[in-house]
């Protein structure tokens, strides 16, 4: 039986986590979604200002669009329109959503999401799924799953333990 030093247990396919990406939540624009509205959203980490994105809002008929503009890697000016959608809340209010602007594999995503992400190295904001982001807690859970699966196999069980662990990872998939 191998020990921790003998295998590659800790070498796993690491996916970028949502925590590593810049997050733009639709709630950030609360009260500012009206034609002509403009501003800047700034992110900081460790108390240092790290990134900022400008936006302005346009309206065509009943459709609102928020245009994001930012400098990408100091060499390219990017401007992307993000369509907004609304749903009614049960108390008669209105809730705003972004429409994911990304095209993946030739298909426009158009998912209705409350959060858009810009992961390290990515050029455009998009939804969590398009960017293949996972949650840190899932990352840890997946490591655990692999570790226990490996242990199980080494002890002569099948991968059942890993599967049992996987069952509680519903939202991680």
* Whole-angstrom distance, CA of residue 141 vs CA of residue 2: 22
Q: Does 130 interact with Zn ion (rule: CB under 5 A)?
A: yes
Site string for Zn ion, 85-114 (x = CB under 5 A): ---------------x-x------x-x---
Residues 34-63 that bind Zn ion (CB under 5 A): none
User: First and final CA of the chain: distance in angstroms?
Assistant: 31
Q: Does 127 interact with Zn ion (rule: CB under 5 A)?
A: yes
* Whole-angstrom distance, CA of residue 150 vs CA of residue 3: 11
- 130 vs 147, beta carbon nearer Zn ion: 130
Q: How far is the CB of 122 from Zn ion (least distance, A)?
A: 12
**Residue 85 has which token pair?**
């959608």
Q: Does 138 interact with Zn ion (rule: CB under 5 A)?
A: no
Q: How far is the CB of 18 from Zn ion (least distance, A)?
A: 13
- Judged by the rule CB under 5 A, the positions of this chain that interact with Zn ion are 100, 102, 109, 111, 126-127, 130
């Amino acid at each position: 039986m191998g020990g921790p030093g003998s295998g590659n247990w800790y070498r796993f396919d690491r996916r970028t986590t949502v925590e590593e990406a810049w997050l733009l939540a639709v709630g950030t624009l609360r009260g500012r979604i009206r034609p002509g509205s403009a501003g800047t959203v700034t992110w900081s980490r460790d108390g240092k200002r790290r990134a900022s994105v400008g936006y302005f809002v346009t309206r065509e008929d009943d459709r609102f669009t928020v245009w994001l503009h930012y400098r990408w890697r100091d060499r390219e000016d990017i401007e992307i329109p993000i369509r907004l959608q609304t749903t009614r809340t049960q108390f008669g209010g209105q809730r705003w959503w972004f429409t994911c602007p990304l095209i993946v594999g030739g298909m426009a995503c158009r998912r209705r999401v409350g959060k858009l992400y810009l992961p390290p190295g990515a050029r455009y904001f998009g939804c969590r799924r398009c960017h293949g982001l996972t949650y840190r807690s899932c990352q840890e859970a997946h490591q655990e799953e692999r570790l226990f699966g490996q242990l199980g196999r080494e002890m002569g069980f099948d991968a059942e333990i890993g599967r049992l662990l996987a069952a509680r990872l519903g939202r991680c998939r």
